[in-house]
Structure 1
Amino acid sequence: MKIIVLSNHIAALPALVYFHEKGWLKAVVTSPGSFEKNLVKNFCNSKGIKCLLLDHDASFSDQVNNLLVTTATDLVFVFGFSKKIPDVLLQNHKLRFLNIHFSLLPAYRGPAPLFWQIKNGETATGITIHKMDSSFDGGPILYQEQFQLYPEESFGALNSRLSQLAVNVIRKALEKLNKNESQFVDQDESLSFSYPSVKREDLLIDWENQTAAEIMNLVNACNPIFSGAITFLNGQELAVVEVSPAIINDVSNLEPGTIAYADGNYGLFVACKYNTFLRINIVQTSESILSGYKLIALGLKAGVRFQQNMQQESLC
């Protein structure tokens, strides 16, 4: 079997290792950007694997098609790739383009499925391998598998876990593919929904309207890919990187966002909607990364209130 992978995402690395060890990986296609920090490219260089850096000034279709022809590729996996695959490539019936998507399609189509699943408080996620068509994350499903989404699991932790689990999912999908292509199942469009790219406004903590659980989900969804959920303290922007749930019995009727306790032994606790509480564990400013204990040592006291200010902030 001869396989090409289109990817510029760290999540593809375990799959690349698997394909390489099987002797199937003939080339990898990646896109420009922070190419010197592209771990996919670095892996290919370390293993002597052909790695095509797409030229923005040349035809995407021509570049990839030439690679497919010269390698006599049997199968193309798309795994965390930032460009839409042109229809002319997908319509080449001699090849199968398979996409690896971190959700249980047709749910959570779109470019940032893990962010939205964590933010929305889902308790289950999955990995879907499907044949690509001209739509985003459409096309019939070859294989999918459900996995638990653990409480308090961050984006980074979930992405890393799924990237490891993807290897076995890919193995099962290939076994199924080798038996009979008719095993593909059309997606149920009545169950489909998608989310857009993440904008700055999606990262803002809304102390007035979000519960403690919703704020924790947002913080986890932002860690580390967006550096944290955004709030403001004394006119300074902060990114909240890590929080944990807390129960405080002797404090009530505080305005959401108000610091309830700032204790050097127990930490920094903030009130949320419905008289619930979170402990602030880690924040990031433009100058440094600080623990809740460090904020207390720097003078942050109970009664100070975190703020949300959307009017000043432009979208990414």
Structure 2
Amino acid sequence: MTIGIITSSDQFLSLAYTLANNNLQVCIYYAQGQDAYVNQKVQALAARFQLVCGQQQEDVYNWLEQVKPGIVFVYGYPFLLDVAKFSIPVFNIHAGALPAFRGPVPVFWQLKMGMPQLCLSIHVLSSRFDAGTVVWTKQIADQPHYTYALVHQIFSQLVVEGVYYILNAVLSGKSLDPVPAQGKGAYQKRPQAKDVQIDWSRMPAKEICNLIRACNPWNKGAAANMNNQQIKIMDGLVTGQTTTLPPGSVVNEGTQLWIAAADGQFVQVNMLLLEDMFIPAYQAAYYGIKKGLILQ
């Protein structure tokens, strides 16, 4: 049986290689995105597979007719597919708990909201985004070093387990039992500018660090205002040290940079972005990020 993968990202590569290394035939439909590096990476690393790069949304249905896969997995594909054109089992891989984290960037929202468990789901493709019956889930405990990119990398490896579970069921003719719903149904939109902005007057230290991780690397960190100029904080750590300084107050401790949060705790900042320049904390004072400054 030929296994089809429909995608628009490089997240499918671990899955495709694992399937192929187990002597399964894999064919891939890749909708090229705006990131030229990712496009080149996919074309280079997926050269061993039956790879078709599409330009128009209708191209995927031409690919489906030509390749005739026995089963399809959709992974990191941003467009709504017409389920009526699939006469075979087709499943969508979603990097979030369902139905609580429907939407295009569930990893961002899970990290930003400080969810203790991060969830990967596979559901039957339906006529609405992320609304089909969930047949497999995997949860991992969030860790302080997990970033948006790292979680996606981990999920790209864990998804192999779910795909094999589904393949074994389909090939043996067994039904796939629905997984109980996780949380109340909600559609989490694509982040806007306000969603990636640190609110020093309201956000405690842990919430700030969660936001920083959720923005790394796709937004190059969480945004903050310095004298009406935007800077981005790319790495932050809850120190456990308390202060009575106003939220947003900057303190230089030797080579370290600390910023007061709304709960009276300091966040240790290790790397910033200013005018597309990466600035380590020990050089921050040269750019005016020093004691006496209050970030807004």
SS of alignment partner, residue 274 of structure 1: coil
Residue 313 of structure 1 corresponds to none
Structure-2 change in CA distance of 1:209 and 1:143 (3 Å): same
Q: Which amino acid aligns with 1:262?
A: N
Whole-angstrom CA distance in 2 between matches of 1:134 and 1:2? 24
Q: Which runs of 5+ in 2 are unaligned?
A: none
Whole-angstrom CA distance in 2 between matches of 1:4 and 1:178? 15
Residue 246 of structure 1 corresponds to 239
Residue 312 of structure 1 corresponds to none
SS of alignment partner, residue 109 of structure 1: coil
Whole-angstrom CA distance in 2 between matches of 1:172 and 1:282? 41
Matched positions, count: 294
Residue 274 of structure 1 corresponds to 263
Whole-angstrom CA distance in 1 between matches of 2:293 and 2:14? 46
Whole-angstrom CA distance in 1 between matches of 2:288 and 2:184? 51
1:285 to 2:274 alignment: yes
Q: Which amino acid aligns with 2:270?
A: N
Residue 46 of structure 2 corresponds to 44
Q: Which amino acid aligns with 2:144?
A: P
Structure-2 change in CA distance of 1:286 and 1:301 (3 Å): closer
Contact 2:2/2:27, CA 8 A, preserved across alignment? no
Residue 256 of structure 1 corresponds to 247
Residue 142 of structure 2 corresponds to 149
Residue 294 of structure 1 corresponds to 283
The alpha-carbon deviation at position 140 of structure 1 amounts to: 1.4
Q: Which amino acid aligns with 2:107?
A: L
Deviations 1:21-60 (A, max 9, x none): 2343442112233364213233222x2x23222232xx61
The alpha-carbon deviation at position 109 of structure 1 amounts to: 0.9
1:97 to 2:90 alignment: yes
Deviates more, 1:197-206 or 1:32-41: 32-41
Q: Which amino acid aligns with 1:18?
A: T
Whole-angstrom CA distance in 2 between matches of 1:286 and 1:25? 47
Q: Runs of at least 4 residues of structure 1 off by over 4 A?
A: 186-190
Q: Which amino acid aligns with 1:29?
A: Y
Of all paired residues, the percent bearing the same amino acid is 24
| Map 1:120-135 → 2, pairs under 5 A | 120-135=113-128
Specify which of 32, 54, 61 is matched with residue 65 of structure 1: 61
Residue 293 of structure 2 corresponds to 304
| Map 1:1-316 → 2, pairs under 5 A | 1-34=1-34, 36-37=36-37, 38=39, 39-45=41-47, 47=48, 49-56=49-56, 60=58, 63-89=59-85, 92-93=86-87, 95-185=88-178, 188=181, 191-249=184-242, 251-252=243-244, 254-259=245-250, 261-265=251-255, 267-298=256-287, 300-307=289-296
SS of alignment partner, residue 84 of structure 2: helix
The alpha-carbon deviation at position 296 of structure 1 amounts to: 2.8
Q: Give the structure with the larger helix fraction.
A: 1
Structure-2 change in CA distance of 1:35 and 1:88 (3 Å): farther
Contact 2:117/2:142, CA 8 A, preserved across alignment? yes
Contact 2:29/2:63, CA 8 A, preserved across alignment? no
Structure-2 change in CA distance of 1:32 and 1:11 (3 Å): closer
Contact 1:154/1:223, CA 8 A, preserved across alignment? yes
Deviations 1:191-249 (A, max 9, x none): 32220111122111111111111111111100001111111213321111100011335
Contact 1:139/1:186, CA 8 A, preserved across alignment? no
Q: Which amino acid aligns with 1:69?
A: E
Deviations 1:269-307 (A, max 9, x none): 111112111011111122410111110355532121111
Whole-angstrom CA distance in 1 between matches of 2:137 and 2:130? 13
Q: Which amino acid aligns with 2:193?
A: R
